Amino acid sequence: MKNESTPRTAHRIIPLIHTITLLAFILALASGCRPSAPSPSPAALSLKTRIQANLALFIPELSESLHHKKYKKTKTILDIFYAEINGPGGSSPFSLALLDRHGVTITSRTQNSLSGSQNYGNYHVVSNVLQKKRAYTSSLYLQGGGKVYIICVPLLSGEKLTGVIIIGIDSEFMRQTGITESQFMSLDFNSPSNSTL
């Protein structure tokens, strides 16, 4: 008695093997052709190092003073942070805003003083920081038509979120230093300065 099932099975399996091989080849080719994220420039890496050095210096004190509701001390720390990150000279490309654990402004330090408190808790980038307790970058259009680049960093006391610090970077400063928006957005402020991602 002839067993005809083997040739029929072979006829079904061979095209399937060819199809799988072809799909694997196409996927490998497609992933190789995808444009990679831009490598941060030396200027972008220098910016990351500058910001992270200041965060390392001031975040612990800010977190603790907020945790213990020492608002006068918190504002003093923010003044020193603002002076340090901007450095000497008349130009102040960096601004700071301090939010509580709900995203409401406690105080800010900018070239043009802002008054009143605003709730930024519903802004996508701030909402991510509040929920995930990780740093995020974004860009915002200002009412006057300008643009500001921001880094939102959680303030933690242990595992407890005490607030959020927002560092704003003037778009003119970014243009002068040659840092593109895509390079800025590729910087990961959750990783050490010597790492690009």
Percent of the chain beyond pLDDT 90?
60
Q: What angle do CA 139, 140, 143 make, to 5 degrees?
A: 160
Q: Among residues 84, 88, 92, 90, which one has the least CA distance to residue 110?
A: 92
The single-letter DSSP state of residue 37 is: P
| pLDDT digits 0-9 by tens, 109-155 | 986 544 456 888 888 999 999 999 999 999 988 777 788 999 999 99
Give the separation between CA 176 and CA 124, rounded to whole angstroms: 28
Percent of the chain beyond pLDDT 70?
74
Strands 105-109 and 94-100: antiparallel
Give the Cβ contact number of residue 169 at 10 Å. 23
User: Strand, helix or coil at 8?
Assistant: helix
Please give the pLDDT value at position 47: 95
Query: pTM for the whole thing?
Result: 0.76
Give the separation between CA 101 and CA 121, rounded to whole angstroms: 9
Give the separation between CA 14 and CA 42, rounded to whole angstroms: 52
| pLDDT digits 0-9 by tens, 1-50 | 455 555 555 555 555 455 555 444 444 444 454 455 557 789 999 999 99
Q: In degrees rounded to 5, what are phi and psi of residue 135?
A: -80, 145
